[in-house]
Structure 1
Amino acid sequence: MTQDPRTALDDTDRRLLAALQRDGQMTAEALGAAIHLSPSQAGRRRQRLEAAGVIRGYRAEIDAPAAGLGVEAFVQIAMARHSQENARDFLRLVRERPEITGAWTMTGEADYLLRVFARDLADLNRVIQRLLLPHPGVDRVQSQIVLERVKSDGPLPL
């Protein structure tokens, strides 16, 4: 049986991943210095972790309000019917909408939890009233508006 490469991380891999979570633009030189390896060794480890899918990509962290998105909300969705077609159609909608930035299937009363960013409350209302509620598979929508983010999505605890 082949071991999943994501579970075969050594301490150096974990230090490398932690460093990249702090700054994904680190050069091989800076990364090597941070984890006490040569730049070429650090670069090869990074490439191996990228190829294995442990590192899925790099992106800029954008301040939502500074970018004109003043409202963040979490929206719980309860489905009326749990058919494969319903789920497939709903998930297609979720994946296509840029204002829905995260989506999870859940246990409990809600079937899905969506993270939504909007310009303002009217924009959030449009997403809920014109996009989510009219979907034929949706039974109930419950939203919670974020008042203050006290901790951003942090690095994984490696």
Structure 2
Amino acid sequence: MIALDETDRALLRALAEDATQGSGALGRRLGLSQPATWRRIKRLEEAGVLAGRRLDLDLGALGFGVTVFLGIKLGTKGRVSLEDFERAVSAIPEVQTVEHILGVYDYRLRVTARDIPDFERVLRRRIMTLPGVGSVDANVMLSEERLPGPI
């Protein structure tokens, strides 16, 4: 684990807000030189604190108006391996995240679809046919608020 000082935390907060900022702009914002900011970013990347940068897409603007969270309980018949299930579910493009969890369900999936009939098609034809699926519980997302992390 890497020791983070207050400047590192401020840098991480600034990158979480907008990861496209260059080290010069970040440095001006934090009162650092561009090379000092770049060195801090490199150190955080090498330590694994910064694991990459991603682009947030507006799924609604792209025509995907429905997000559903699925709780998947694997069946006990046939004892399908977790790896077989994970490999199969990861091949479904509508499945955005696959989380192996502890509790009532074995997995939690985040699925996006164009609309409810499209989601039903994905559920019936793709998810319910996955190896080992026992039961499925669905929750349709009404709205989402993203809150900044604890940094």
1: CA distance, partners of 2:39 / 2:79? 42
How far residue 97 of structure 1 moved from its aligned partner, in angstroms, is: 2.1
Task: Tell whether the 8 Å contact from 2:73 to 2:107 is kept in structure 1 after alignment.
Answer: yes
Percent identical among aligned pairs is 39
Give the 3-state SS of the residue equivalent to 1:116 in structure 2: strand
Picking from 125, 130, 136, the partner of 1:130 is 125
Give the unaligned 5+ runs of structure 1: none
The aligned residue for residue 9 of structure 1 is: 4
Using a 3 Å threshold, how does the CA distance of structure 1 residues 41 and 82 change in structure 2: closer, same or farther?
A: farther
Q: 1:83 to 1:48 in 2, by over 3 A?
A: farther
CA deviation after TM superposition for structure 1 residue 11, in Å: 1.4
The answer to whether structure 1 residue 118 and structure 2 residue 113 are counterparts is yes
Alignment check: 8 A CA contact 2:80 2:131 kept: no
Segment drifting more, 53-62 vs 16-25: 53-62
What are the superposed Cα offsets for residues 37-68 of structure 1, whole Å, 9 maximum, x if unpaired?
A: 11110011111111222111112211111011
Q: Aligned letter for 1:157?
A: P
* 2:98 corresponds to 1:103: yes
The Cα of 1:84 is off from its aligned counterpart by 8.0
Task: Tell whether 2:51 aligns with 1:93.
Answer: no
1:42 is paired with a residue whose SS is: helix
Q: State the partner residue of 2:148.
A: 155
Q: What's the TM-score once normalised by structure 1's chain length?
A: 0.88
- d(CA) in 1 for partners of 2:95 and 2:54? 17
Which stretch of structure 1 is more off in the superposition, 83-92 or 50-59? 83-92
The Cα RMSD (Å) is 1.8
Q: 1:29 to 1:156 in 2, by over 3 A?
A: same
Aligned residues: 151
Asked if the contact 2:92–2:126 (Cα under 8 Å) also holds between the matched residues in 1, the reply is no
In structure 1, how many angstroms separate the alpha carbons of the residues matched to 2:35 and 2:19? Answer: 17
Q: Does 1:61 align with 2:62?
A: no
